[in-house]
Each structure stands twice: as C-alpha cells, then as structure tokens.
Amino acid sequence: MGLFDKFKAGLQRTQAKLSSEIHRIVSRSPKLDDDTLEEIEYTLISADLGLPMTQRILAAIKESYESQGKDGLDVLAVARREVATTFKGQTHGLHRQPEGLTVVSMVGVNGTGKTTTAAKLAHRVQANGDTAVLAACDTFRAAAVEQLKEWGNRLEVPVIAGSYGADPAAVGHDALSAAQARKADYLFIDTAGRLHTKSNLMKELEKLHRVIGRQAEDAPHEVLLVLDASTGMNALTQAREFNKAVPLTGLVITKLDGTSKGGMVVAIHQELDLPIKFIGLGEQADDLQPFDAAQFAEALFAE
Ligand SMILES: Nc1nc2c(ncn2[C@@H]2O[C@H](COP(=O)(O)OP(=O)(O)OP(=O)(O)O)[C@@H](O)[C@H]2O)c(=O)[nH]1
Ligand SMILES: [Mg+2]
C-alpha cells in the first residue's frame, strides 16, 4: 500500500464525514447561499478543524464561487488546497545525530499511545537499516514493562528495563549505557503516562531528561509528545503544559483511524509552533506514518 492509500484508509472515518457531508450539502442547492455555507461550516467544525481553518476554507470557497460560479466550484479541492498550504514549511521525520546515538523520549498523558509508538518507531528505523534499543522507563504501571518487552520480542529489539517501582531516571541511565555499548543508532524511551497537572510527576520527567542529558550531549535529542486524536482540543492544553516542563521537539498524533475528528491535526498545528512528526493510523507496527501535509489534506477531503 502506498503512503496515500495508508493515509486514506487510516483517515477513512474523518474523510467519510467530511467529504460525503460536504458533497451532499453542495449538490443539493444550485446556489451557494448562506444556509449552505453555514452547513459546510458546521461540518468542518464538527471534524475538529478548528475555527481559524474553518473560516479560511469558507472564505476560499466564497471567493472561488464568486469568480467561477457554482459550476466551476470544487469545494473539496478548495478545502484540500487550504489545508495543505497551512502546513507549508513543516519538517517531518525523526532527527538523526550526525554521529552516535540519537535519544528519543516519548511523553504524554495516560493511554495516548506512547509505548506503542516507541515500538513502532523502533520498527521504522530498523526497516531503514538502523539499530534501536527500547528503554522501559514506565516503572509505575506493573504491566508496562511486559508490554514493551512483548513488542521487543516481536520486533527483535532489545529492551532495557528495571524493576517495578524503580527510579525511571536510573533505568534511563542504564538503558543509555547499554545502547551506547551496543553502538545502537537510536534509543527510544518509553515513559509513564502522566497528567500535566501533576507537578511531582512532571518533575520526575524533567529529572529523567536531565540525567540523560548529562550522560550524552544534547540528549534527549527528540522529545515527542504523543497525543490521542480522539481527545480533540484537550490535546492542545496537554501540549502547552508539557512544553513548559519538558521542551518538546515534535508531536505524534495517534488513533486517527478511530475518530471522525481527524481535523484536530490541522487545528493543533495552527495553534502550536511544533511540527507534527508522525501520525498513528492503527495498532500494528507499521501503522505509524511520517506526517505529510499534502497527502494528509488529500486523504481528508478525498472524493
Ligand atoms: N487504533 C489505534 N490504536 C492505537 C494507536 N496507537 C496506540 N493505540 C492503542 O492504544 C492503546 C494504548 O496504547 P499504549 O501504547 O499502551 O499507550 P500509552 O500511552 O503507553 O499508555 P500508558 O502507558 O498507560 O500511559 C493500545 O491498545 C494501543 O494498541 C493508533 O494509532 N491507532
Ligand atoms: Mg505505556
């Protein structure tokens, strides 16, 4: 399956809602009157595209209608273009240190997909010929280490873990040493889910990063906040608060396959000055894709 087909399959719920709704609304009326525009607006908003993007799309639709009339108007094409161009200049893909180990820390609130994404990323870099090590720094939840070990077994990626209740910073330290000894290209650190409002847990995360930073220059090189697409605009607050405690280098938005509100990717991007690096489109190892604005826009408003 090509990238576009993967995007399209993963975004099917959002696409179904947006495209078929808009198609129905537009084809019903010979004119583009205020009621029609209002219905389009409602549809865009309910896919969580956010108000600024919605207004931008509506303005572009009106402009196209005024210059070309109803027959020349292709609402989906206008929406695709507007969404794709907001992402201009967006960098994606994983950072890679020019030499030695690249350390990537996965952070976020509970259940967003950190562990799964760490495993998917390890799988991804391996497929590109790089080597990876996984660090089980979620020592808080009993089953967390097992979950990561299972992934490690399946993907043949070594997992460095401590005991239940151990200091995550100590596990991180050991994992980093192990990854360096193995001359691995990447270390992916799985951290425990935490609410950004719990300052002691945020301090624990800061400590983990501080310890790692002393051990390897500029580490962690990537701090990826994992956001669950179905949480909509709550994700925005999470991103702002996490960014204050541990400076983020990018976002991963997961579970887009399970929501009809995939427009939140656009809204989040418009609100935050952080690149969307990857999107999660399913539960399997290869269901993580580097974010591509054009393909994303194309899939969101596919015919
Ligand atoms: N459909 C779908 N499910 C996903 C995706 N990413 C993760 N999941 C599922 O979401 C659930 C939670 O994922 P985890 O990786 O355990 O999440 P976590 O952030 O590590 O959770 P905690 O460690 O408890 O904070 C699992 O059942 C995953 O399979 C995705 O992109 N699509
Ligand atoms: Mg986890």
Report pLDDT digits (tens) over 256-302. 999 999 999 999 998 888 999 999 999 999 999 999 999 999 999 99
Ligand nearest, relative to CA of residue 111: 1
pLDDT(57) > 80: yes
Residue 222 gets the label, from left (phi > 0), alpha (psi -120 to 50) or beta, of beta
Ligand 1 close to Cβ of residue 280 (< 6 A): yes
Q: For residue 36, report the distance from its CA to the centre of ligand 1, in Å.
A: 39
pLDDT digits over 105-132, tens only? 999 999 999 999 999 999 999 999 999 9
Residue with tokens 């990876």: 132
* pLDDT tens-digit readout, 84-95: 999 876 666 899
Q: What is the pLDDT of residue 91?
A: 65
- Give the helix/strand (H/E) hosting 241: helix 234-245
| Ligand 1: centre distance to CA 242 (Å) | 19
Residue nearest to atom 11 of ligand 1 (CA): 113
Q: What are the Cα distances from residue 45, in Å, to 38, 62, 254? A: 10, 17, 20
Q: Whose CA is nearest to atom 14 of ligand 1?
A: 113
User: Which helix (H) or strand (E) element contains residue 187?
Assistant: strand 186-191
Question: Can you tell me whether residue 258 is helix, strand or coil?
Answer: helix
Give which of 277, 272, 275, 303 is closest to 291, Cα–Cα: 277
Residue 227 has pLDDT above 90, yes or no: yes
233 three-state secondary structure: coil
d(CA 49, CA 216): 40
Return the pLDDT at 141: 87
Please answer whether residues 268 and 239 qualify as being in contact, where contact means their C-beta atoms are separated by less than 8 angstroms.
yes
Contact 25 CB / ligand 1 (< 6 Å): no
Spatial neighbors of 158 by CB under 8 A, at least 6 apart, are 133, 134, 152, 178, 182
Residue 98: asked if its preceding bond is cis (omega within 30°), the reply is no
Q: How many angstroms does the Cα of residue 22 sit away from the middle of ligand 2?
A: 38
Neighbouring residues of 38: CB distance < 8 A, sequence distance ≥ 6: none
Contacts of 198 (CB under 8 A, 6+ apart): none
Q: What is the pTM of this model?
A: 0.95
pLDDT band for position 54 (cuts 50, 70, 90) = very high
Alpha-carbon span 269 to 92, nearest angstrom = 13
Q: Residue range 46-73: average pLDDT?
A: 94
Domains of the chain: 3-86 (1.20.120.140), 102-292 (3.40.50.300)
The H or E element spanning position 52 is: helix 51-72
Cβ of 144 below 6 Å from ligand 1: yes
Q: Does ligand 1 have an atom closer than 6 angstroms to the CB of 250?
A: no
Contact 193 CB / ligand 1 (< 6 Å): yes
Tokens of 270: 């418009």
296 Cα–ligand 2 center, Å: 27
Of 112, 134, 114, 132, the closest CA to residue 124 belongs to 132
Q: Is the CB of 298 under 6 A from ligand 1?
A: no
Nearest alpha-carbon partner for 184 in 93, 94, 102: 102
Cα–Cα dist 72/55, whole Å: 21
Which residue among 6, 116, 204 is best mutated to probe the pocket of ligand 1, counting the most ligand atoms within 8 A of its Cβ?
116
pLDDT of residue 112: 98
Ligand 2 centre distance from Cα of residue 34 (Å): 47
**Closest to 185 measured CA to CA, from 94, 103, 279, 294:** 103
* Phi-psi group of 283: left, alpha or beta (phi > 0 → left; psi -120 to 50 → alpha; rest → beta): alpha
Residue 90: per-residue pLDDT: 67
| Per-residue pLDDT tens over the stretch 204-220 | 999 999 999 999 999 99
138 within ligand 1 shell (Cβ under 6 A): yes
Distance CA 176, CA 97 (A): 15
114 lines ligand 1 (CB under 6 A): yes
CB 254 within 8 A of CB 229: yes
Average pLDDT, the chain: 94
| Nearest ligand, measured from the Cα of 257 | 1
